[in-house]
Amino acid sequence: MKRVFNFSAGPSVLPLPVLEKAAAEMYDVNGTGQSAMEISHRANDFMPIIEKAENLLRELMGIPVNYKVLFLQGGASLQFSMVPMNIANYAGAGKKAAYIDTGVWAEKAAKEAAKFTAVDVRAGSKDRSYTYIPAAPAAESDDAYYHITLNNTIVGTRWAEIPDTGSTPLVADISSCALSEPLDVSKFGILYAGAQKNLGPAGVTIVVIREDLIGHAPPQTPAMLRYDIHAQEGSLYNTPPCYGIYMVGLVLEWLRNLGGIPAIAGLNQEKAALFYQYLESSKLFYSPVEKPFRSLMNIPFIVKLEDPQKRTELEKRFIQEAAAAGLVNLAGHRLVGGMRASIYNAMPIEGVQALIQFMEKFESN
Ligand code: PMP
C-alpha cells in the first residue's frame, strides 16, 4: 500500500484508522450483512449510523440541547443561499444581513445572500489581499443575522476571537476549521461546514442551528432548501448522503478515541507552530499572513523572490519535486498561486516534519 502526505485543502486526508475500519466493514457493517452504502435510509439498520454521527458531533462540540444537527447536501456553497433564504426574515421583514469579507468564500457568501436580502458588508480585509482579519463592527438593531467565515481556507486566516453580536444571531462558515479547536456553540445561531476537510468525505454538509432560527422561510422556499423540513424529518426528508454520514461517524469516533477536541487542538497548535516557526526562520519561504490571524489549518507560503517570473518558476519546481517526494497537493489556490499546506486534524505531525525537512533541503540546494 502506498500512502503519501496529502496537503490538499479539500477533499483532504482522512485518518488511516478510519479508512481501515471502513475497508474492514465494506461488505458488512454492524453485522447487517450489508455495506453502509447499501442500507436504505428508511431501514432500522440505518438509524444507528446516523444517530452515532449526530451523538458524537453533539458530544465532541458540546452542542446545547436547543440546537438541531442537520446532515444535508449541496456543500457549504448551498448554505450561502440557505442561510438568507431561511433566516433573512427572522423577527420580521425589511432587515439586512451583515457580512464580513475576509476572503473569496466570505465574498461568495455575501454575493449569494444579496439575491435574497439586503446585505451590508460591514468590514473586510480585501485592501491587504485578505492577509488579516478586520475588527468586527458592532451588530446593528436591524441586522437579521451577522455572517463570518471562521477560517479562510484560501488565504489562511482565522478569527482568533469570536465577535460578540449580542442578540443578533451569529452565523459562521466553519468548513475548514470544524472540530479543530474548542468552539462555544452557544455563541452562534448557525454553524455550517462541508464535510470534506475535517469531518469526512465530500457530499455531506453539516448544519448546527439554534431552534428559534428554524421556521422563518417564506412559503415559496423549495422544500429541499428549508431548515424546518429537514429538522422535522431528522435529515431524512429525502435520501441523505448515507455513506458520507457513516464516514463522518467513523471520523468522529476516531477523534473521540484520540481525546476529543482538547487533544486534537493541542496537536493542531503544535503542528502549526512547528511550520510557522520554520517559515519565520527560512531565507527562501515566507508566510504572507499577519501573525495574529494565522490559520492552524491552512498555511499558504511563498518564495521570497522579487522577479515574479523567477518566483513562479521556482514555486512550480518546488511543487513538482515535493510531489515526487510524496508530499502532494501543495499548490496554492488557483486564485492566489504560491503554495499552501493544509494540515487538517488527520494530518499527522510526521507529515509536517517531513514537509519541513524537504523545504530545508530544497532551500539549501
Ligand atoms: N467555505 C469555505 C471556507 C471553504 O473552504 C469552501 C471550500 N473549500 C467552501 C465554503 C465551499 O464549500 P463546498 O465546496 O462544500 O460548497
Same domain, 161 and 207: yes
Alpha helices in 167-259 (DSSP H): 227-232, 242-258
Q: In whole angstroms, what is the distance from residue 244 CA to residue 50 CA? A: 10
pLDDT band, very low/low/confident/very high, at 280 (cuts 50, 70, 90): very high
Task: Please report the pLDDT score of residue 95 as a whole number.
Answer: 86
CA torsion, ordered 150, 51, 251, 226, to nearest 10 deg = -40
320: domain CATH number is 3.90.1150.10
Does 309 map to a domain?
yes
The cell numbers describing 276, all together, are: 510557522
Residue 247 has pLDDT above 90, yes or no: yes
Cell of 250: 467513523
Measured by CA distance, the residue closest to atom 15 of ligand 1 is 75
C-beta of 240 in contact with ligand 1 (< 6 A) = no
Query: In terms of Cα–Cα distance, which of 311, 304, 305, 273 is closest to 286?
Result: 304
CA 54 to chain CA centroid, Å, is 17
Dihedrals phi, psi of 55, to nearest 5 degrees: -65, -40
Nearest to 192 by CA among 240, 145, 150: 150
Minimum CA distance residue for ligand 1 atom 10 = 76
CATH number at residue 88: 3.40.640.10
Residue 6 lies in a domain: no
Q: Is residue 11 part of a domain?
A: no
- Is 312 a pocket residue for ligand 1 (Cβ < 6 Å)? no
Q: Is residue 7 part of a domain?
A: no
Of 184, 231, 227, the closest CA to residue 62 belongs to 184
The reply to whether ligand 1 has any atom less than 6 angstroms from the CB of 235 is no
Residues 196 and 274 grouped into a single domain: no
Residue 326: the pLDDT is 98
Q: How far is the CA of 361 from the centre of ligand 1 (A)?
A: 33
Instruction: Return the active site residues.
Output: 105, 173, 197
- Residue 78 CA to ligand 1 center (angstroms) comes to 10
Q: Which atom of ligand 1 is nearest to the CA of 151?
A: 3
pLDDT in tens, 158-192: 999 999 999 999 999 999 999 999 999 999 999 99
Categorize the per-residue pLDDT at 271 as very low, low, confident or very high, splitting at 50, 70 and 90: very high
Whole-number Å distance, alpha carbon 44 to ligand 1 midpoint, is 33
- Does the pLDDT value for residue 288 go beyond 90? yes
How many C-beta atoms surround the C-beta of residue 237 within 10 A?
16
Given 258, 292, 309, the domain boundary residue is 258
Pair (64, 119) in one structural domain: yes
Q: Quick check: 164 and 137 in contact, CB under 8 A? A: no
Same domain, 70 and 182: yes
pLDDT attached to residue 204: 98
Q: Which three cell numbers stand for residue 291?
A: 501573525
Pocket test for ligand 1, best of 175, 177, 336, 342 (most atoms within 8 A of CB): 175
Shared domain for 211 and 285, answered yes or no, is: no
Q: HSE (CB half, 13 Å, CA atoms) of 297?
A: 30
Indicate whether 195 and 287 sit together in one domain: no
Q: What average pLDDT does this structure show over 195-199?
A: 98
Query: Residue 307 is placed in which grid cell?
Result: 522577479
10 assigned to some structural domain:
no
Does residue 3 lie within any of the structural domains?
no
The residue range of the domain holding 191 is 17-258
Please indicate whether residue 201, judged by its CB atom, sits closer than 6 Å to ligand 1. no
Per-residue confidence (pLDDT) for residue 165, from 0 to 100: 96
Q: Which of 87-91, 134-138, 339-343 has the lowest mean pLDDT?
A: 87-91
CA-CA distance, 233 to 240, in Å (whole number)? 11
| Ligand 1 pocket check for 76: Cβ under 6 Å | yes
Task: Name the DSSP letter for residue 331.
Answer: B
329 lines ligand 1 (CB under 6 A): no
Residue from 72, 105, 180, 329 to probe ligand 1 pocket by mutation (most atoms less than 8 Å from CB)? 105
Give domain status of residue 5, yes or no. Answer: no
| Co-location of 89 and 224 in the same domain | yes
The strand pair at 327-328 and 5-6 is best described as parallel
How far apart, in whole angstroms, are the C-alpha atoms of residue 93 and residue 88?
A: 7
pLDDT at residue 277 greater than cutoff 70: yes
Domains identified in the chain, total number: 2
DSSP 62-118: T--TTEEEEEESSHHHHHHHHHHHHHTTTTSSS-EEEEEE-SHHHHHHHHHHTTTSE
Region 92-103: what's the mean pLDDT?
86
**pLDDT surpassing 70 at residue 92:** no
Contact at 8 Å (CB) between 344 and 298? no
How many angstroms from the chain centroid is the CA of residue 340? 16
- Residue 91 binned pLDDT confidence (cut-offs 50, 70, 90): low
Domain boundary residue, one of 229, 258, 287: 258
Q: Which atom of ligand 1 is nearest to the CA of 194?
A: 15
Ligand 1 centroid from CA 300, angstroms: 17
CB distance 268 to ligand 1 below 6 Å: no
User: What is the best residue among 77, 147, 171 to mutate for testing ligand 1's pocket, by most ligand atoms within 8 Å of CB?
Assistant: 77
Please check whether residue 247 lies inside any domain of the structure: yes
Q: Is the pLDDT of residue 151 over 60?
A: yes
pLDDT, one tens digit per residue, over 314-345 is: 999 999 999 999 999 999 998 888 999 999 99
* CA–CA distance, 251 with 266 (Å, rounded to integer): 18
The predicted model gives 202-228 an average pLDDT of 97
Clarify whether residues 236 and 269 are in a common domain. no
**Which residues, including other chains, have CB under 8 Å from residue 309's CB and lie 6 or more apart?**
none
Q: What percent of the chain has pLDDT over 70?
A: 99
Closest ligand 1 atom, CA of 196? 15
Looking at the fold, whether 223 and 174 belong to one and the same domain comes out as yes
What rounded mean pLDDT belongs to the chain?
Answer: 96
| DSSP label at residue 294 | B
Q: Which of 258, 275, 293 is the last residue of a domain?
A: 258
Q: What is the mean pLDDT of residues 49-57?
A: 98
Burial (0-12, 13-18, 19+ Cβ within 10 Å), 225: middle
d(CA 274, CA 85): 42
Residues 229, 275, single domain; the answer is no
Q: Is 176 in the pocket of ligand 1 (CB under 6 A)?
A: yes
Judge if 218 and 309 occupy the same domain: no
- The answer to whether residues 124 and 187 belong to one domain is yes
